[in-house]
A and B are shown apart, each in its own frame.
Chain A
């Protein structure tokens, strides 16, 4: 149940991200459309979630922002998890010098102060669109995951079942991909969701600090703009929707994580509801 709610929320945001602009057109609203009559208007009437101090529609901005926030989250998550798996599993499985080298690299990235560094890099890069932001966040965010995966792989590598398959003459590639990696699937997917959420939050944080391009709108940029005016004037409808979206996404990833273990561990999988009903009947 928890998992379904979580997946539902994530799926909802994904759909909004995909069809967002079209949805705005359908409702006849747009993130940059200025309605001078509606400046700072609370929710209701023509503007379901109210309007900003510039007269733009909050709902339209949140819908348009969903796409950019989700793109940053997903892209940064994919980059981060791929790097974490490649570095962590390789280091753990092969050990020796490869491990020493990759662990050094991981530790280096681990102690880098990510946020200030991201600020500096983002400051240097000309175009700070969502893809750039995602690249930066992904490239600096993989290290903790790599460390965890290295430790897990190290423990799996020495287990009897891996030894037994090696004893059969199994190839290294298949030992990693068929025997070891499936045991890490739970870790990897949980880590991926964590990275996605972290990236969305980091993007919001960066936008809040002013690191974002002026012509993109995301949950973070909306909050950033609201910060300057809304709090002073009590315009809660401006910053609550994007904030709520971020919080909802966070909750959803948490809920999905609860369920991942059950999916990945076949022992928990046996508690098949249908089978139990059949047995009881």
Chain B
């Protein structure tokens, strides 16, 4: 792990301008003041519920659209736009493998184009090598196939192979397994882990599945309503969540060893919906759902508290009395 992250988002904010039902101008605050650093040979998982800004953050990192404020840094240098050099370093794997491959083009078209665009040799043997790398064998047969002749898992492997064809140093996975059958998810996860170990890729793994984040990742970052609320080594974040929202997430993933109704969050779960990003609550955005909310939570966003195990959180509960960690 080198000190300079390969790809980093520094204090980035993204607002989308839109119009509401009656045509009034509204600003959707999709991501606010988020910092995320990706290091070589490490997998960072980004977890949070739907609409928390995970995908937006990934697309900001991939330069799909410009940041409203903040910076995207590639090897410490600010990125100015999505040029070919950037494309050669950072690739994104989409959530839906049924949409991310052109239905009229054969597998080899995708891979060969990717190789050619980045001036890599693009012979049949190189296409086959890529397919071998993602365990699509027999390679020659898969190269000739059209997307509709492949299963979801096979398509996602093709999408990964296409991303790998440019020989990137960062792979951003936007819920890469959520559309796949449960039975083949593990294969794709293991493939990602192998790429980290063998190729030294820096990976961002976006998911709302805590169990897979724990299985795969080295670090876990938790987003809520566009803000980063907790981060740190995977085990510590998932085993000892500091932020009440992280605990809610962990508790809501099924665990056979936990008895039903033992969670402190049965009340919080009833509070339901995540907040509107057009008009987010002031202070900590989680306070309307948080059973431990205090006065300061309603007025001001909490500063970051660091913990000895490398984790950190933005929560008032840890700012004032760190020893007073809420226990379920």
Contacts and interface: CB of A to CB of B under 8 A. Distances in A.
Contact of A165 (B88, B99, B113, B148): B113
B104 A168 contact: no
A161 B84 contact: no
B117 A168 contact: yes
Nearest to B148: A267
B292 interface: no
B96 interface: yes
B92 interface: yes
Contacts of A167: 62, 64, 82, 87, 91-92
A183 interface: yes
B173 to A, nearest CB: 13
A174 B112 CA distance: 14
Contacts of A266: 103-104, 146, 148
Interface in B95-125: 96, 99-105, 113-114, 117-118
A169 B117 contact: yes
Contact of A161 (B91, B99, B117): B99
A4 interface: no
Contacts of B99: 159-161
Most chain B beta-carbon neighbours within 10 Å: one of A159, A164, A267: A164
A174 B64 CA distance: 18
B84 A179 contact: no
B-side interface mostly: loop
Interface string B131-171: 00000000000000010110000000001001001100000
Contacts of A163: 64, 94, 100
Contacts of B148: 266-267, 270
B88 A169 contact: yes
A174 B83 CA distance: 16
Contacts of A166: 82
A165 B146 CA distance: 16
22 contacts: A160-B94, A160-B99, A161-B99, A161-B100, A161-B102, A162-B102, A163-B64, A163-B94, A163-B100, A164-B162, A165-B102, A165-B113, A166-B82, A167-B92, A168-B87, A168-B165, A169-B88, A179-B102, A182-B104, A266-B103, A266-B104, A270-B148
Interface of B: 62, 64, 82-84, 87-88, 91-92, 94, 96, 99-105, 113-114, 117-118, 146, 148-149, 159, 162, 165-166
Given A168-B87, A169-B88, 10 more contacts: A159-B99, A160-B94, A163-B94, A164-B100, A167-B87, A167-B91, A179-B105, A183-B103, A183-B104, A270-B148
Interface of A: 159-170, 174, 178-179, 182-183, 266-267, 270
